[in-house]
Amino acid sequence: MNKKTVSDSEVTITELMIPSYANFGGKVHGGILLSLMDKVAYVCASKFAQSYCVTVAVEGVEFLNPVEVGELVSLKASVNYVGRTTMIVGIRVESLQPRTGELKHTNSCYFTMAAKDDEGHLREVPFLQLENEKELRRFCEGKAIRKLSLEKREFLKANLVDVPLQERIDMTVDERVELTFI
Ligand SMILES: CC(C)(COP(=O)(O)OP(=O)(O)OC[C@H]1O[C@@H](n2cnc3c(N)ncnc32)[C@H](O)[C@@H]1OP(=O)(O)O)[C@@H](O)C(=O)NCCC(=O)NCCS
Q: Residue 57's domain is classified under what CATH number?
A: 3.10.129.10
**Ligand 1: does its nearest atom lie under 6 Å from the Cβ of 11?**
no
User: With contact defined as beta carbons under 8 Å apart, do 33 and 67 qualify?
Assistant: yes
Structure letter (DSSP) for residue 130: -
49: containing domain = 3-162
Task: Give 114 Cα–ligand 1 centroid separation in angstroms.
Answer: 6
Listed in sequence order, the DSSP H helices in the chain are: 6-9, 30-49, 133-156, 165-170
Structure letter (DSSP) for residue 21: G
User: With contact defined as beta carbons under 8 Å apart, do 71 and 122 qualify?
Assistant: no
Number of domain units in the chain? 1
Residue 175 lies in a domain: no
Residues 6+ apart with CB under 8 A from 182: 169
pLDDT in tens, the chain (182 residues): 899 999 999 999 999 999 999 999 999 999 999 999 999 999 999 999 999 999 999 998 988 889 999 999 999 999 999 999 999 999 999 999 999 999 999 999 999 999 999 999 999 999 999 999 999 999 999 999 999 999 988 888 888 777 889 999 999 999 999 999 98
* Cα angle value 74/54/149 (rounded, 5°): 85
Task: Give 55 Cα–ligand 1 centroid separation in angstroms.
Answer: 9
- pTM to 2 decimal places: 0.91
Residue 7 lies in a domain: yes
How far out from the chain centre does Cα 73 lie? 16
Residues present in the chain in total: 182
**Ligand 1: does its nearest atom lie under 6 Å from the Cβ of 22?**
no
